[in-house]
Amino acid sequence: MGPARSGIAICIAPELIFLKRLAAVRLRGYWHIFDSWTIFKWKFPNFYQPPGILYDDPNTNHRHRDCFSRVYRGPYDDRYISCYDGKVKKLVVQTTDMIYDAPGNGTWRRTFIRNVAPWHLRLANWPMNHVDYLRGRTDGDIPLIVVKWIAASCVLIFAVRNAQKV
């Protein structure tokens, strides 16, 4: 659950091959809602990016019949069968920032990563989240780590105590 370790990885892209340093990844999360290609809808996920590639003829109707004899008719696009109600729903894939910011190259909808860990794990990692892992810890980082660690410890102690009383 911790940040990635420093090192070198080879990234292969269609245009070029380059070396990239691995460091702690800071996801943009909800900052993606201000991107020009992000679309809002009332159902979850509320913010998504439309597919970059459509099938040949989107006007042709696709027919799907499930085991309960429900029939779906609509355009041919990427869908999945929901485990909650068994209906056919639009496929939305949760992607990393690098893929979400790239031009659409798939037939599915994309959304960004939200809350990658429970709140108590994010709070436990909070004291170290400002440290640059490429340059390492410096003497200026230690006081801020101590202050943040004390605050996070107090909040976690009271949160766990109150959770046990319920």
108 and 32 in one domain? yes
The answer on 130 and 98 residing in a single domain is no
| Shared domain check, 77 and 145 | no
Spatial CB neighbours of 18, under 8 Å, sequence gap ≥ 6: 10, 11
- Per the structure, how many domains does the chain have? 2
Classify residue 42: in a domain, yes or no.
yes
What is the tens place of the pLDDT at every residue in 91-103?
999 988 888 888 8
Q: What pLDDT, in 10s, does the model give residues 59-114?
A: 678 888 888 888 888 888 888 888 888 888 889 999 888 888 888 888 899 998 88
Identify which of 64, 61, 50, 39 has the alpha carbon closest to the alpha carbon of residue 108: 50
Q: Do 34 and 108 have their domain in common?
A: yes
Q: CA-CA distance, 50 to 70, in Å (whole number)?
A: 27
Look up the domain containing 153 and give its range: 118-165
Considering the domain boundaries, does residue 16 fall inside one? no
- Domain annotation covers residue 12: no
Q: Measuring CA to CA, how many Å separate 63 from each of 60, 66, 102, 164?
A: 10, 10, 32, 51
Closest alpha carbon to 2 in 125, 92, 110, 90: 125
Q: Does residue 132 share a domain with residue 108?
A: no
**Domain shared by 68 and 126, yes or no:** no
Percent of the chain with pLDDT over 90: 14
Quick one: 63 and 135 in the same domain? no
| The pLDDT value given to residue 57 | 73
Band the pLDDT of 152: cuts 50, 70, 90.
Answer: very high
* 20 occurs within a structural domain: no
* 52 and 105 fall within a common domain: yes
Domain membership of residue 57 (yes or no) is: yes
Domain presence at residue 144: yes
pLDDT above 50 (res 3): no
Selection from 50, 47, 52 nearest residue 34 by Cα: 47
Question: What is the model's pLDDT at position 9?
Answer: 47
For the segment 122-143, the average pLDDT, to the nearest whole number, is 83
